[in-house]
Amino acid sequence: MTELYKNWKVLLLAFFLILSFAIIGFRGITFGIDFNGGTLFQIELADPITNLDERARVVQTIQQRLDWTGLKDISVNFFGDDFVIVQIAESDPKTIERIESLLKKQGVFESTIGGEVIFSGEDIIEMPKDPAKGYSLYHEGSGVRWVLPFVLKSTAAKRFTEMTFHKCDLVSYSTEVGREYECEKTYFFIDRPKESVLVMQRDLFFSDEQLLLQGIQSEGIAEGTDIDEILLNSQVSYFLVEKDGLNEEQLGLLEQLVLEKKQAIIPESLALSTQQQLIDLGFELRIVEEEQGTPFVFDAVGMRSIIGLGESVAQMDVAKIENAEPMSKLQIFGSGGTREAAIQRRGDLEILLQSGSLSVSVKSISKETVSPLLGENFLQNVAFIGLVALLIVALVLFLRYRILKLALPIVFIGLSEVIITLALASLISKFDLGAVAGLLAVVGTGVDHQIIITDELRRGVNEHAGSLIARAKRAFFIIMAAASTTIAAMLPIILIGFGLGRLVGFAITTTIGVLVGVLITRPAFGEIAKSIIEKK
């Protein structure tokens, strides 16, 4: 028995058990919406969707946008033709606010120059998260600059090259510095409101104009940014109103525009009388909050970044466009006041680009708190039933083997497997019904594999010397084959099952449990069983 305590396989099990208790004790387990409740979002789409394939794509896009792993316990379902109900096991106000902002967006990404689209999100085929390819964060002045590299399709790369070729003007030349160019800017938008009108106060417009000219480093807005260029590239029709509201000429123009542009984007400070004028004309209002020190126009038109072309990108050293090399590897830059803000802004953009855009825009969104369906009593009942099941298994094993010292380790290893799996899975997922099903699958396969090991070792005792080791190897060969089959069945769900929600969470929890079994608990049980059977 002393030798058993020194066995590295048993010590490995002890180490992971201690680590698991530490994880559960200090970090705790985050329960899903079934146990802890969460938040329900009701999304009203601008247009009804009746096509089943289109509905499935909308559901998948929203699920990928909020949780690509399927581990955050998110439920997305259609209610009627123009409502989508999203349930998520989250109640933290800041997280909910971020989720709401992601859900509000249709997610159409576009890059423009001179008011014309160069490429869109559908043209991006890769976003490498490799620092060697530019994926980075670095301090710049009072803020943190983020860089997101991406790769364009060949057709989009060719179009980008053609539209940016020689878009720089030579402004000076010296022998010390060489040529200095002033280049045009590219504008990056999410959900550019080209089918809306923008109505804002004239004094707010001039305030934004000054802010943009001065530049805001923490927001990634360069000095000398022109508000007229932003509005030109957004393709939004805008109206500047005085304190007494819209004049007759503006009302006449808006009366014509409402026939093709149903939405009016306004600041929250716009006078109620002016808002009523727009409603009377037939516009739906989208109110954009104003943040101190941030241009209202930037948020109103969905601006994400403004990047000046470099002479190398504009290929000023190439004489003819026929000789220009297509530019497929590009970068998007942005800034945040802090490192956390920069990471979140880049992350939000990555999520939108990776999940793709919705086929229709979001008209409105509301949220409410969801009460837990199952709660702690259900969890206690599951734990109690699981413990009773293990004790029944132990009794059956004792009646089969007539060795109490052999039945108890099977129960102990089963409990250890559950604890380690639960601790490791809790680092990346919430504990929900999918996790419960995964743990049940782990317990079932675990006991089955331990019986295989025990039976093989008992047969080895009755054969010639050295057969015990051979039988142990045979048992582990069978176990590894069974585990490989399970993992192979789960991998397709994990890798390509985006949008399957709890099914992906179940697959990941099961895979973690199987790996814990074959790498940690089964080898330890094999040594324990071998020691007991040898003595018998």
Q: Are residues 322 and 178 in the same domain?
A: yes
372 CB contacts (<8 Å, ≥6 apart)? 33, 34, 35, 36, 37
Q: Are residues 397 and 524 in the same domain?
A: yes
pLDDT tens sequence across 249-295: 999 999 999 888 888 999 999 999 999 999 999 998 988 888 887 89
Confidence of residue 238 (pLDDT cuts 50, 70, 90): very high
Is residue 42 one of the residues assigned to a domain?
A: yes
Q: Are residues 389 and 488 in the same domain?
A: yes
Q: Of all residues in the chain, what percent are helix, strand and coil, respectively (each to 5)?
A: 55, 20, 25
Which token pair is 48?
A: 């009804």
Q: Are residues 406 and 432 in the same domain?
A: yes
pLDDT tens sequence across 371-384: 665 655 666 777 77
121 CB contacts (<8 Å, ≥6 apart)? 107, 108, 109, 110, 352, 353, 356, 357
Q: Which of 105, 134, 151 is the last residue of a domain?
A: 105
Q: Are residues 460 and 493 in the same domain?
A: yes
Question: What residues are paired with 39 via a beta bridge?
Answer: 88, 369
Q: Are residues 20 and 145 in the same domain?
A: no
Measure the CA–CA gap between 147 and 151, rounded to whole angstroms.
13
Q: Are residues 177 and 62 in the same domain?
A: no
Is residue 238 one of the residues assigned to a domain?
A: no
Structural domain of 187:
108-192+302-355
Q: Are residues 126 and 52 in the same domain?
A: no
Is residue 409 one of the residues assigned to a domain?
A: yes
Is residue 242 one of the residues assigned to a domain?
A: no
pTM over 0.75: no
State the CB neighbour count (10 A cutoff) for residue 397: 22
Q: Which of 61, 79, 105 is the last residue of a domain?
A: 105
CATH number, domain containing residue 148: 3.30.1360
Q: Are residues 430 and 441 in the same domain?
A: yes
Instruction: Count Cβ atoms within 10 A of the Cβ of residue 85 and give its class: 0-12 exposed, 13-18 middle, 19 or more buried.
Output: middle
pLDDT higher than threshold 90 for residue 240: yes
Q: Are residues 163 and 186 in the same domain?
A: yes
- Residue by residue, DSSP assigns 57-84 as HHHHHHHHHH-SSS-S-EEEEEETTTEE
Q: Highest mean pLDDT: which of 56-60, 151-155, 216-220?
A: 151-155
For residue 22, give the amino acid letter. A
Q: Is beta strand 38-45 parallel, antiparallel or unpaired with respect to 362-370?
A: antiparallel
CATH number, domain containing residue 61: 3.30.70.3220
Q: For the chain, how many structural domains are there in total? A: 3
Is residue 259 one of the residues assigned to a domain?
A: no
The whole-number pLDDT of residue 465 equals 45
Q: Are residues 455 and 525 in the same domain?
A: yes
Q: Which of 84, 105, 126 is the last residue of a domain?
A: 105
Which token pair is 318?
A: 């190439």
Q: Are residues 388 and 527 in the same domain?
A: yes
pLDDT tens sequence across 292-346: 878 999 889 988 888 888 888 888 888 888 888 888 888 888 787 788 888 888 8
Is residue 438 one of the residues assigned to a domain?
A: yes
Is residue 515 one of the residues assigned to a domain?
A: yes
CA atoms 194, 200, 203, 204: torsion sign? negative
The gap between the terminal CA atoms of the chain, to the nearest Å, is 13
The whole-number pLDDT of residue 498 equals 47
Is residue 140 one of the residues assigned to a domain?
A: yes
Q: Which of 17-26, 68-77, 175-184, 300-309 has the lowest mean pLDDT?
A: 68-77
CATH number, domain containing residue 386: 1.20.1640.10
